[in-house]
Amino acid sequence: MSRTKWFNVMTGELEFQMIDRMDSWQSAVEDGVVTDVELEVQTQRIAEVLRTIDAQVSDELHELITDVLREVSVLHAMQVFYASKGTL
């Protein structure tokens, strides 16, 4: 299996921020509404992937993954805050 690239070779930008290509995103927003059920399904999808990763990685790699998950959570919160206020 080939690796999904995290960074654009030309720009150096993160590649995985293109949520519009994700089936889970397209399915959730196709009707213009994200429901409580869709949020729960996505939460469970993430939890299942994290359980799989947790069972397979070393403690050192687990810490790195934990750090990036925390930072991605901060980024997401910042983006929501920024969008809701218009500016910082």
Q: Evaluate whether residue 6 is within a structural domain.
A: no
Averaged confidence pLDDT in the chain: 88
Q: What total of structural domains would you count in the chain?
A: 1
pTM of the model: 0.73
- pLDDT value at residue 7: 86
Q: Evaluate whether residue 53 is within a structural domain.
A: yes
pLDDT over threshold 60, residue 24:
yes
74: containing domain: 34-85
pLDDT over threshold 80, residue 32:
yes
Q: Evaluate whether residue 22 is within a structural domain.
A: no
pLDDT tens profile 49-85: 999 999 999 999 999 999 999 998 998 899 889 888 8
Q: Evaluate whether residue 61 is within a structural domain.
A: yes
Q: Evaluate whether residue 7 is within a structural domain.
A: no
C-alpha span between 27 and 32 (Å, rounded) = 10
Q: Which whole-number Å values give the CA distances from 47 to 44, 66, 78, in the listed order?
A: 5, 13, 22
- pLDDT value at residue 23: 87
Residue 86 banded pLDDT, cuts 50, 70, 90: low
Amino acid letter, residue 85: K
